[in-house]
């Protein structure tokens, strides 16, 4: 099976790669499911590593919501049920970026040793949330703005995981 036409990273949704007419849709949807499980389980397991402050608890809850959202994105591709898929994608992007903003604010206000990480976290969340807002306002380059809304979380999670094991 071939991709019908030309896929554009700037003009097509990320989820178009998970639609049945995409040659490797099962890989894309599988990656969404794995990402969702990892984010959700990570949010649950990391709870004990953060201070018992409300800001961190709410941020971890938002990460859990984000993980469940992207899990549903993988289980319910856009061409199976577009409405469920869109709501799940919005939950993932909104909750993930809000979680980074909240966690970043808590870290910036905390101990000096985590302020730089907090600033990076805050900026990543603000970038993602701004891109999501522009996307919801009808920005034409949907692929570009969806990626700007989604990738900061993925990159931040990767960076944070690396820091936890190497610093």
Q: Could you give the CA distance from residue 123 to residue 119 in angstroms, rounded to a whole number?
A: 6
pLDDT digits (tens, 9 = 90+) for 28-45: 999 999 999 999 999 999
What pLDDT does residue 4 have?
66
The pLDDT confidence band at residue 65, using thresholds 50, 70 and 90, is: very high
Mean pLDDT of the chain: 92
Token readout for 54 is: 């409300």
Q: Does pLDDT of 87 surpass 50? A: yes
What per-residue confidence (pLDDT) applies to 48? 82
CA 158 to chain centre: 12
For the record, the structure tokens of 83 come out as 């409405």
1 pLDDT exceeds 80? no
CB 32 within 8 A of CB 16: no
Higher local confidence (pLDDT), 103 or 167: 103
Q: CB of 128 within 8 A of CB of 152?
A: yes
Report pLDDT for 112.
85
Q: Average pLDDT for residues 129-146, to the nearest whole number? A: 92
- Structure pTM? 0.92
Residue ranges per structural domain of the chain: 14-161
Report the alpha-carbon distance of residue 74 to residue 89 in Å, rounded.
10
Q: Is the pLDDT of residue 157 over 60?
A: yes
CB–CB of 101/122 below 8 Å?
Answer: yes
Q: pLDDT value at position 98? A: 98
pLDDT bracket for residue 6 (50, 70, 90): confident
Whether residue 47 has pLDDT greater than 90: no
């Amino acid at each position: 099976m071939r991709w019908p036409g030309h896929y554009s990273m700037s003009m097509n949704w990320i989820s178009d790669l998970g639609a049945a007419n995409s040659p490797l849709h099962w890989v894309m949807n599988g990656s969404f499911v794995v990402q969702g499980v990892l984010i959700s389980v990570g949010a649950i397991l990391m709870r004990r590593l953060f201070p018992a402050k409300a800001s961190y608890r709410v941020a971890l809850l938002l990460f859990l919501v984000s993980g469940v959202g992207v899990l549903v994105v993988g289980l319910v591709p856009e061409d199976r049920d577009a409405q469920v898929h869109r709501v799940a994608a919005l939950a993932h992007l909104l909750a993930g970026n809000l979680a980074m903003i909240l966690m970043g604010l808590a870290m910036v206000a905390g101990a000096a040793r985590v302020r730089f990480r907090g600033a990076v976290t805050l900026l990543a969340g603000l970038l993602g949330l701004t891109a999501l807002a522009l996307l919801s306002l009808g920005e034409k380059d949907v692929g570009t703005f969806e990626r700007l809304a989604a990738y900061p979380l993925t990159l931040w999670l990767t960076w944070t995981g690396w820091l936890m094991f190497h610093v």
